[in-house]
Amino acid sequence: MATEVKIPAMGESISSGILASWQVKDGDYVSVGQALFELETDKITSEGNAEVAGTISLKVQADEEVEIGQVVALIDESATAPSGAESDTPKPEAAPQANAQPEVTPKPTAAQTPPTAAAPAPAAAPSSATPPLSPAPRKIAEETGVDLATISGSGKDGRVTKGDILQKAQAKESAPATATHAVADPASRETRKKMSPLRRKIAEHLVAATQEAAMLTTFNEVDMSAVMQMRKTHQEAFVEKHGIKLGFMSFFTKAATHALQAVPQVNARIEGDAIVSQHYYDIGVAVGTPKGLMVPVVHDCDRKNFAEIETDILNYAKAAREGRIGIQDLQGGVFTISNGGIYGSMLSTPIINHPQPAILGLHNIQERPVVRDGEIVARPMMYLALSYDHRLIDGKEAVTFLIKIKEAIEDPSRLLFGI
């Protein structure tokens, strides 16, 4: 009996994807729950797992476009599992017989020892299967051009890790150049790879945002002293109670919610010739992943405390980087926060996440001289950038919105009283 392996449904808006890679080879014996393939769509990347055990027969090549519901492999359930694959549970040892004497292997005497070296022992049997390579190391190998066959894995069961690949790539780059250089093959000077569905969707989305919106950016700067002192004062107790660190993003998420409530024109969107006002506060938080930028949404931020927001952001970021983000996690946002400061960005003009009308860009924190009470002092300062759709939001509203965020960050007690 053969069971069909089909591309699972990913949401109403997703009809196809790219079968990016197979985690198994044709003819392999697979077990229930084993990862079979990696599927890339224009929104998310996910894995397909085996629902039954048996020998798999692949029907589609890697990098091919596949439709939702398409059969990509067959699993023969009647196939016999190879030795050692039936179960990972060790079998109990037989009970020793009563009065059994321990077996003694006599040592050879000098006369029995051959004058020459003994015949070489037979080589150990090779492993029955090469440990599968996870998507992240495979992608790094493709980008660096490292030959996986030249690497001895340092991971469990000889698995090749990202560190092994990066170390090999670094050694390759630092290798001394030879005295003479052969003429390089033109084909080796470039690598052409088909754009992934996610990257293609990101490109289309960004171009559409710049073409369909009258985008403008306004700037301000914020003194981070109060937030940094508050985190320092309460961090230990916060971690002890909630099991998670108090970060900057929860402050800015609450500050953005506060600003949206104070300037409701920013919490709206344009649909055709209508303006749709939104009365909920679902904030998108941009997350960089190996596949591209994703914006999971923290829902109902006006009803959540700092710990709940920090937990949501941490879980979404981890799921996005591991390719486990769900389509429902990316829907419903009214406003987006993008933190380029974690990469060292000092200033930028972020592009709005259309059809949202605005996006807040955060940047790195630097000690800069500022004037306080007539004196020049050093303060941890951050530049803020608000990009917005000028068709919907006037300059006065944009500046007021940004000032509301600045006030809430420089005096976080305002968030407690809604002022």
User: Which residues participate in catalysis according to the annotation?
Assistant: 390, 394
Q: How far apart are CA 85 and CA 30, in angstroms?
A: 9
Q: What is the helix (H) or strand (E) element at residue 275, kind and residue range?
A: strand 274-277
Sheet holding 71-76, edge to edge: 2-6, 71-76, 54-58, 29-30
Alpha helices in 130-196 (DSSP H): 135-144, 162-174
Q: How far apart are CA 360 and CA 382, in angstroms?
A: 13
Measured CA to CA in angstroms, residue 355 lies from 119, 187, 297, 326, 339 at distances of: 76, 42, 14, 20, 20
Angle at 292 between CA 388 and CA 347, to 5 degrees: 45
| Nearest partner of 399 among 206, 262, 211, 278, judged by Cα | 262
User: What letters, b where the CB count within 10 A reaches 16 and e where it falls short, cover 273-304?
Assistant: eeeeebeebbbbbbbbbebebbbbbbeebeeb
Q: What is the helix (H) or strand (E) element at residue 233, kind and residue range?
A: helix 225-242
